[in-house]
Structure 1
Amino acid sequence: MKIDTSLSMPQLPEALSHAGLQFTVATEEDFEDIMAMSQDIYGGLDYLPTRYTSWLQETNRIVILARKHGKVIGLESVCVIDEGETVLVEGLRVAPQERGKGVAGVLLRFCSELVKSRFPEVKVTRLTRDDQLGPKDYQKYRIITKQGILLVRFRAEELKQRLSELGVGEDLHYPMINSSQRAGPLRLDHPTIQRLFLGTDLMQPILPNATIIQDWQPFKLLSSNMAILLKKDIDWMVDDLSNPSVASLCTFPFSVPIGDNWYYLNIDMFGKDVGLVRQQFLGHLQRHTSSLKGHVMCQMFLEPQLWESMAHFCQHTLGVELVKEYREQCVVEADIV
């Protein structure tokens, strides 16, 4: 679905106009203003500066800016997926000096009005959160799925040495930690991804609620969504092509604003076999950190019951630092009314 960004913005309801905000579609020229808002977001680990340009090029997405006296003070994005039935709301940012003043609420309500006026075929809105859901959230949203979030930090050079000591090689076969007799993990090319995820029912029991969650974005198993995913730089792995138990999607490392030679790596892991999860985790680490120099923050999303075991493995086998205790990634949705 291609979004027409040339259309005029919807009229804001009277209740929203009091904030004195103006709303525009983001452009390349706004990048420095976006950077200024991202310096302390997620402790300096904001992904948006790296993704901003590619977001503007996505034909199914609009990035909305909130301005006050002409200056950018907020950002939100709406992305139409699931063959036009779902709008994904993500990327909320508010400038430091404007936080706590209600800007986020006004921006979110504006985006809701935008969706209803411009995309009448959309039925539900989805978003992904990592904060604790409260009673009001449960009244407003349906929970699609939950994943545990495991966040670790290490120096790439030190991890490379540790992986070498463990015998992790480029063949991506690690019998020393494999809990099954299967060979793997196996990196997938695009035709195999299409066949395995769309041409069979093999992946549905592995994926939470038959949903591919990639870098905080939830996608139903549809051809239009697969076309979106295959345009991204992602490594796909499974443990077995004929009877898979574990699958994973890994971003390529991207830099973050905290400082020079700081990188982020996101791994979405699906499946309950902890040995196979470890195997694919090591495969992604070996492939994507071996040529890096500097600090790496690696965030893995996995079945909640595997979090403790994988945290222990990271600390005591890999010798990397656990940054945060258990958190959850919650995918929620609500009907558009």
Structure 2
Amino acid sequence: MIFVGVICGWFRGICVNRRSYLGVAGGALLTGVAGCLGGNDDGTNGDDTGLDTDDPVGEWSGGEIGFALPPFQDLEDLETQYAGTFEWLEDGFDGVDAVAGQETTSYAAAVESVVQGHSEIGNLSPMIFALAQEDGVHPLAVNWSHGSDSYRTYIVTRAETGIESLEDLDGETLALVDPLSASGGIFPQYTLREAGIDAGDVNTEAEDVEVEWAGGHGSALTALEQGHVAAAAYGDFEHPEPDETDADLEVIGESDPIPFDVVVATPDTPDEVREAVADRLHDTPEEHLEDHRVDEYGEFDADLYDQTREIAIEMGVDIDTLDEAESD
């Protein structure tokens, strides 16, 4: 398994680094990078009507599958997390010699790398995938965690505040995580909006509550526990058991389901290839995911991501906004 950071345009006379969307990863270059072997000069990967071969995945990939990795995570951690997945995919198809991780430098880069066929498959965060569906990427599997394909934001107060509902937060101080955090910003703001409380969005300030940005889920919880705010919103994974906190916490609201990341394939990936790779991902054994942040690769549920897209658009989120926030 080789992590690569430079696209293979150099080796085919096609320089595709115009947006610098693949960064140097691990200092290793691969002269036969995935997305170039077996592909056409226009950047596509063959006939989207199918492959006339007993080894469709090998022919489609040219012997090597490029896997675009999510941006803004530590490369060393990514290498560890995905090593088992890459090994499992490599061993699953006779015509595939390697799966090469490709580190991307932005959300737009991760999308473009897959859309343009520079990576055969890739991992997209839920909101990015929801916004990129119009580009034609094909969902293969969902990264499940803690036995589920989604999680929620909890909106929580202390019993002593007397706050019993989301409507009671009008005029109170609320700790959120980050303006562009799905579970710590966008989804709780949308949940409050649905309850008639204006907590702001990406482009506007809150009108009905005073928002304090905590910078992390744990920090938002701590601010609530210590009485610095009347309520806080954070991912349900952060919510403590009663014996883990001295505060008497009460959940007064929760968001719609927030889906996890999606593994996607290029727009022109043939049906039989998509099916084969998806099936292989779904069958990934637990031992290949011991170091990963996910439990399994599950089936894709379109409804979850359609809802995520609607919420993102209503709250003023787009891919460029997310990239700009990460680069600040």
TM-score, reference length from structure 1: 0.27
**Between structures 1 and 2, the one with greater strand share:** 1
TM-score, reference length from structure 2: 0.28
Over alpha carbons, which structure has the higher Rg?
Answer: 2
